[in-house]
Amino acid sequence: MAKKYHDQIIKLTPIQYKVTQQNGTERPFQNEYHDEFADGIYVDVVSKRVLFSSKDKFDAHCGWPSFTRPVDGDEIVTKRDFSHGMIRTEVRSADADSHLGHVFNDGPNGNLRYCINSASLEFIPKDKMKERGYEEYLTLFE
């Protein structure tokens, strides 16, 4: 499937399209990054903008990648979500408007829990960040 983004055609897998473009949710514990804890950054699968760092990732035992905060709060937007008979706060990428997941007030040590679909993310390992053009974010790991 494809998404037009800034005059480029971005190819997405069916699950990436369902999650990011149709506000879908992938299955818990059966997604790519729920148990990934290597050093690196997580970028929006559409825009490739940096969203989260492994330094802020934790195991929330919910089956999806969970983070206490974004790398840059300006890269995400939140909005009220009244779907499925619940009141939640949806998280979207600011530039590409990709649905990412939801944010909750039950993170560790009084922090937030950004519960994010793996399908909305691409993980860039620390040792690949420079070659992929994310060298400036290596300071997150100093």
Tell me if residue 115 is catalytic: yes
The residue type of 17 is: Y
Strands of the sheet with 121-125, listed across from one edge: 50-53, 40-44, 121-125
pLDDT in tens, 55-101: 999 999 999 999 999 999 999 999 987 776 778 899 999 999 999 99
Instruction: Give the CATH number of domain 2-125; options: 3.40.50.620, 3.30.565.10, 3.40.50.300, 2.170.150.20.
Output: 2.170.150.20
Q: What is the pTM of this model?
A: 0.93
| Catalytic position from the list 115, 116, 121, 129 | 115
pLDDT in tens, 105-141: 999 999 999 999 999 999 999 999 999 999 999 999 9
Whole-number pLDDT of residue 10: 83
Residue ranges per structural domain of the chain: 2-125
Contacts (Cβ under 8 Å, ≥6 apart) of 131 = none
Task: Report in angstroms the alpha-carbon separations of 135 from 77, 120, 130.
Answer: 25, 22, 4
| CA–CA dist 96, 76 (Å, integer) | 10
